[in-house]
Amino acid sequence: MPLSIGGGDEEGLNHECKLCSQTFDSPAKLQCHLIEHSFEGMGGTFKCPVCFTVFVQASKLQQHIFSSHGQEDKIYDCSHCPQKFFFQTELQNHTMSQHSS
């Protein structure tokens, strides 16, 4: 799909991982990083939470999710807003960045 230009907060180093304070210049990079957090201590493998296919790189799992799964497959619901996520760490990061005071 085409990249939208000038989409407001999509650009710049303002996508912060609240779990370790690293910042990323795109939401996709942050998501990939959060996938890595999800599988810390799992021996370097990354398992799709929807179909359980195993990958050896977080970015490959991310690509797989983008191409094979959609919104309806997201399993973690935010209890404060309608957003949903594939990974618990994504939900944690979202909650800490959007719903903490």
Residues in contact with Zn ion by CB under 5 A are: 17, 19-20, 48, 50-51, 78, 80-81, 83
Report in angstroms how near the CB of residue 82 gets to Zn ion at its nearest: 8
Q: Specify burial of residue 57 (Cβ count, 10 A radius: 0-12, 13-18, 19+).
A: middle
**What are the residues facing 77 on neighbouring strands?**
84
Report in angstroms how near the CB of residue 28 gets to Zn ion at its nearest: 15
**Closer CB to Zn ion, 11 or 77, in the complex:** 77
Report in angstroms how near the CB of residue 77 gets to Zn ion at its nearest: 9
**Closer CB to Zn ion, 75 or 81, in the complex:** 81
Integer CA distances (angstroms), 36 to 9, 19, 57, in order? 23, 12, 9
